[in-house]
């Protein structure tokens, strides 16, 4: 009896062990699956990573093949389910090793496609001595902005959509299936919306690029999916925030002042945008406005006579006020600008008489200045401080008379001379208006070299009125 009980107990224990072993084998089985998206487009999942592939009469096109193990599994599934299961194209959307290592499995018969930045990003990762990147194969063919792949009746569009973390980022659009795929994207479906670790300018550009494409749903590498209509709405919201922040920034208002206003009515009822004040603060910290402006105007120039010019002269006349014209071209990055300015000063007449020598001449000066400018906006007006180096060229013409002596030294002689010198230029501009504005410029010029025969003065001051026109403006 005891022996029978012992045998039964041993059998039960063995069964329990076998069950435990079988259960352990099942739980250790890789978590993978293939599901149909639409038509001949399928999604493959390996753990938390997702990718897609398109089956055509000419072969298979697969996006990011994930890991080597996943790619081996997919290759076996292709050969079993859709023989001969040949992969013709592998499209890299991201250089991350967990997305791209599996490309080596299909490299014998497939073309590895990536954006032109893919190999460069991969090379940088390898130089950081990250072992996982050594197994990633380089892309064999590249594209810049877009590429169309047509195979077996299917059409696939590849579009460059970079982010700071993935300069090679690519969106794949399966035209017949009206479905797009990308491995990584900003926090698109988070509510309330947040820029997260992404820069607002990058999110704005990414959304503008992707929302302009022709598809109905976007699939992501983490398994999420987003409707095109949601992307379009989000793109409009981010664009509105960034554009308004840029305008407020240019007018000199702070983020705190801006957030006292209200969100545009089109977005007020959407809970996804209820944290818009935080979005505004993020945009203020990242906004970059680049503009190019041209200015043209008239100036009055007052030239201060240098005493050294009139030394030993019984009579001396020089300096005073003369008209001038001014034109400039500036490139502005946020609050700072680089300015190139050309000033043409009308003829200034000078004369002096000494015991042995008389002269009368006219001096026409052209000055080029390169300056750095600081913009200080205040609503519709702004004050701009500027300073830099200048280079002046002077043409001197007239007559002189040497008293006493014999010809040809004595008598009258024609004066025709040209000279150049360096100086420093500074000043300020008072500007009213933005796209088209009125400018009141004030300039102070001082020559590095002392006054000499050609130059009766080292210093002059200019003031006038001008018109400025914004030729170009972009928001990053």
3-state secondary structure of 51: strand
Average pLDDT, the chain: 87
Instruction: Say what percent of the chain tops pLDDT 70.
Output: 93
Domains of the chain with bracketed CATH: 32-184 (3.60.15.10), 289-475 (2.40.160.20)
CA-based nearest residue to 235, from 258, 252, 253, 218? 218
CA 234/CA 228 separation, integer angstroms:
10
Check residue 7 and give its pLDDT.
Answer: 31
8-state DSSP, 183: S
3-state secondary structure of 283: helix
Count CB atoms within 10 A of the CB of residue 268: 11
**pLDDT digits over 42-87, tens only?**
999 999 999 999 999 999 999 999 999 999 999 999 999 999 999 9
Q: Which residue has the tokens 């209820």?
A: 274
Lowest mean pLDDT among 154-158, 219-223, 298-302, 431-435: 431-435
Q: Which residues contact 447 (CB under 8 A, 6 or more apart)?
A: 392, 421, 422, 423, 455, 457, 458, 459
In the predicted model, is pLDDT for residue 182 greater than 90?
yes
**pLDDT digits over 298-339, tens only?**
999 998 877 777 777 888 888 789 999 999 999 998 889 999
In the predicted model, is pLDDT for residue 2 greater than 50?
no
CA 401/CA 359 separation, integer angstroms:
6
Check residue 195 and give its pLDDT.
Answer: 87
**pLDDT digits over 5-17, tens only?**
433 333 333 233 2
pTM over 0.75: no
**pLDDT digits over 370-422, tens only?**
999 999 887 778 899 999 999 999 998 888 888 877 777 788 888 888 889 99
Length of the chain: 476
In the predicted model, is pLDDT for residue 287 greater than 90?
no
């Amino acid at each position: 009896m005891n022996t029978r009980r012992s045998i039964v107990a041993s059998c039960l224990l063995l069964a329990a062990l076998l069950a435990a072993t079988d259960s352990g084998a099942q739980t250790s089985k890789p978590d993978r699956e293939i599901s149909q998206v639409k038509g001949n487009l399928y999604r493959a999942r390996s753990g938390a990573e997702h990718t897609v592939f398109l089956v055509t009469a000419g072969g298979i096109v697969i996006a990011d093949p994930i890991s080597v193990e996943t790619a081996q599994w997919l290759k076996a599934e292709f050969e079993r389910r859709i023989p001969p299961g040949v992969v013709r194209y592998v499209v890299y959307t991201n250089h991350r090793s967990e997305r791209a290592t599996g490309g080596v499995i299909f490299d014998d018969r497939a073309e590895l496609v990536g954006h032109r930045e893919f190999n460069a990003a991969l090379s940088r990762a390898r130089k950081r001595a990250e072992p996982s990147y050594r197994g990633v194969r380089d892309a064999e063919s590249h594209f810049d902005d877009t590429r169309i792949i047509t195979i077996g009746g299917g059409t696939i569009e590849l579009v460059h959509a970079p982010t700071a973390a993935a300069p090679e980022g690519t969106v794949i659009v399966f035209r017949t299936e009206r479905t797009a795929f990308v491995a990584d994207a900003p926090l698109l479906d988070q509510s309330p919306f947040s820029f997260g670790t992404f820069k607002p300018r990058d999110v704005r550009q990414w959304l503008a690029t992707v929302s302009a494409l022709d598809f109905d749903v976007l699939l992501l590498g983490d398994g999420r999916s987003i409707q095109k209509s949601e992307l379009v709405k989000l793109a409009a919201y981010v664009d509105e925030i960034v554009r308004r922040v840029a305008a407020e920034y240019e007018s000199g208002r702070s983020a705190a002042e801006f957030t006292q206003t209200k969100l545009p009515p089109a977005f007020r009822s959407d809970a996804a945008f209820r944290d818009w004040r935080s979005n505004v603060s993020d945009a203020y910290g990242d906004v970059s406005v680049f503009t190019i402006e041209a200015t043209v105007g008239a100036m009055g120039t007052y030239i201060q006579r240098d005493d050294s010019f009139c030394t030993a002269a019984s009579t001396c006349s020089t300096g005073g006020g003369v008209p001038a014209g001014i034109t400039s071209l500036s490139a502005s990055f946020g609050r700072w600008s680089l300015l190139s300015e050309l000033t043409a000063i009308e003829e200034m007449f000078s004369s002096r008489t000494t015991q042995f020598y008389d002269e009368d001449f006219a001096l026409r000066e052209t000055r080029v200045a390169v300056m750095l400018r600081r913009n200080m906006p205040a609503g519709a007006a702004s004050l701009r401080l500027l300073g830099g180096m200048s280079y002046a060229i002077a043409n001197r013409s007239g007559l002189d008379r040497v008293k006493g002596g014999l010809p040809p030294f004595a008598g009258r002689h024609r004066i025709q001379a040209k000279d150049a010198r360096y100086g420093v230029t500074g000043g300020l501009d008072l500007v009213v208006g933005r796209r088209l504005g009125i400018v009141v410029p004030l300039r102070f010029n001082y020559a590095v070299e002392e006054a000499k025969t050609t130059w009766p003065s080292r210093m002059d001051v200019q003031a006038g009125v001008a018109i400025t026109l914004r030729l170009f403006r972009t928001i990053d």
